[in-house]
Amino acid sequence: MNSLINSGDALFNSGNYYEALSIYTTILQNSPNNPQILAKIGLIHQINRNFKDAINFYQKALHLNSNLTNIYNNLGCIFRDIGDYESAIQCFKRDNDSYEKFFNLGILFEKYGDIKSANKFFHQALKFDHSKGLSVMTKIALLLPPIYNSKEEILKSRKKISDFIDRYSYSESYISNPTEDIGATTFYLGYHGECNKSLNNKIYKFFKKRVAANFFAQYQPKDSDTKKSKRIKIGFVSTFFRKHSVSDVSRGWIANLNKEIFEVIIFSIGYVEDDSILYLKKNCSKFIQLPSNIKVIQKSILENNLNILFFTDIGLEPYTYFLAMSKLAPLQITYTGHPHTTGIETIDYYISSKHWEVANGQDFYTEKLVKFDSLTWYYDKPQIKDEISLNFEDFGLSKNDKIYCINQSLFKIHPDFDYIINKITTDDENSKIILFYNKKNQQWREQLIGRFRKSISKSEKIIFIEELPFNKYLCFLKLSDVILDTIYFNGGTTSLQSFAVSTPIVTLPGNLACSRFTYGMYHKMGITYPIAEDFDDYVTKAILIANNKELNIKLRSDISLNNQVLFCDRVVIDEFEKFFLDITKK
């Protein structure tokens, strides 16, 4: 038995989790009440992000031995990652005081949006392990609140990061594994309404200096292997091939690439088995499921000797963010999964659309910008499956109200946007502003309410609705008089959903692509009226569209007649195929 356990442990420690799981499962068949083995199996499921099974095995282990306190820390991390913050806190409370306990509590409060508490717990963690000093201080420097009260707060938080890098770039300490020791990206920088080229590149250079050199990997060309394959080998890597907006806009064109020309390899980080994953499994050359272990991910990608590595997103989570800092293929590419330059010099190309980019768009990217004629997204047009008669009163509305719907994540509501909301609620006496919130992010809602009370004179006209089931949500969009697009960072799939039900959106394009998504969709449809020139023009057009019945009907008709150009566009596939062929010939 001990030799079998040792074999399983050796496989686990070398990152061979599936082989280790097989051995632990064999042991469990002979010793079903072994809490240590149950805990090891739970940990493997956790690493694979198969949280349901992980919780099940951990709870069985604790039932047999409640003194396995490290399990409470692991359970706390799972509950935190699925958004059950109360259960997570209860688990962490039962764990012994340690670096891991307080560091994970810090991450929990960071996700929750309570940056002050997060900061406190990170400092507390440092008391238990001084060797993690640079890692923890970097984590604290990168703490960015989802909700800001002012533009000044935003600029201050950006300066905090820049000043930290200036101070610590030449530290004598190193970060061994940033995916675990920091576990953060520059995600919220994208919603500040600023160009992130300089700051993101500065952050990248800091990590290249201060992360241990053996963390990064470098591909070695294997000419013999390349010559054996007549097809171009393209790897696609993401944590979000499951049902997610990233997958929603990319899986269609990835699955439809010509398999006679391209060998399509999917590197999916984490365990999920939903319709999106199954569709990609069915329509790729090879599907590789990977655990949340950066070294295992690097090794798997290198072993496949790719021509191209395509990141469908960089910056949404730590694994692909830090993975992108290695050179794992001759050509590395990203696109609008997170629509900002990465600042990472190992990414060669950034794919965007001519409909989104300004003439000098290259100035905003460290990567070489490529502008497609298409929108680059291949998105299935959503349909209302069952028309629901919505009751206004259920949402705190009356039939006389004009519904101005903002169907965006709350962290997209920039403080500058308050001017627009304030003007609409003041100038249109029947206006009601609708925002959606997720119950696990209740803190964000409360923070926004507090800000609105100071910045919007009639903040009582703003109604927060808990996120609706998708079909009901589409019906609500159709019912809305007008959609208000967020400034600086527009709707992506949410704008496509609104256009699918022909509801007009007022939008204000800026210089960055992320502020021009809805503009680009209108441009593609040949519709111009709802595109505003400035804040006051935005307000004027929103109120007119909401209140002028003839104009509203005309816009809905125009959208309905032209919105087919936004969905399942074959040109997207053709352009990607041509681009991949062109760059591999160079």
| Model pLDDT for residues 123-132, shown as the tens digit of each residue | 999 999 999 9
Give, for 423, the enclosing helix (H) or strand (E).
helix 417-427
Percent share of the chain, pLDDT over 90? 90
| Pair 333, 326: CB distance under 8 Å | no
Average pLDDT over residues 261-289: 95
pTM of the shown model: 0.95
Q: Helical H runs in 242-285?
A: 245-255, 275-282
Average pLDDT rounded to a whole number, residues 69-79? 93
CB 427, CB 421: distance < 8 Å: no
CB atoms within 10 A of CB 443: 17
Strands 431-437 and 462-466: parallel
- Rounded mean pLDDT, 92-102: 94
pLDDT at 388 over 90: no
Cα 236 vs. chain centroid, distance in angstroms?
16
Instruction: Report whether pLDDT(226) > 70.
Output: no
C-alpha distances (whole Å) from 96 to each of 81, 100, 349 are: 20, 10, 47
From the centroid of its chain, how far is CA 475?
A: 26
Q: Is the pLDDT of residue 581 over 80?
A: yes
What pLDDT band is residue 70 in, cutting at 50, 70 and 90?
A: confident
Per-residue pLDDT tens digits for 235-252: 999 999 999 999 999 999
**462-466, strands of its sheet edge to edge:** 462-466, 431-437, 402-406, 482-484, 505-506
Closest listed residue to residue 317, CA positions, set 157, 491, 188, 193: 188
- Give buried/exposed letters for 305-324 (b at 16+ CB in 10 A, else e): bbbbbbbbbbbbbbbbbbbb
Q: Which residues on neighbouring strands pair with residue 334, listed in sequence order?
A: 311, 350
Alpha-carbon distance values, 75 to 39, 82, 99, 119, 235 (Å): 11, 11, 16, 22, 33
Is the pLDDT at 89 greater than 80? The verdict is yes
Helix (H, G, I), strand (E, B) or coil at 333: strand
Confidence at residue 227, expressed as pLDDT on a 0 to 100 scale: 54
Contact 453, 424 (CB under 8 A): no
Mean pLDDT throughout 334-346? 96
> Is the model more confident about 123 or about 385?
123
Distance of CA 83 to the CA centre of its chain: 15
> Is the confidence at residue 26, as pLDDT, over 90?
yes
| Predicted local confidence at residue 393, as pLDDT | 84
**Average of pLDDT values for 35-44?**
95
C-alpha distances in angstroms, 36 versus 45, 67, 70, 207? Answer: 14, 11, 11, 37
How high is the pLDDT of residue 432?
98
Quickly state the pLDDT bin for 223 (edges 50, 70, 90): low
Type of residue at 500: A
What pLDDT sits at residue 220?
87
**Residue in the structure block whose two tokens are 């330059």:** 341
pLDDT of 338 higher than 60:
yes
Mean pLDDT estimate for the chain = 95
Residue 559: count other Cβ atoms within 10 Å of its Cβ.
Answer: 23
Task: Render 96-127 in DSSP notation, one character per residue.
Answer: PS-HHHHHHHHHHHHHHT-HHHHHHHHHHHHT
Give mean pLDDT, residues 12-35.
92
Q: Say if residue 1's pLDDT is above 80.
A: no
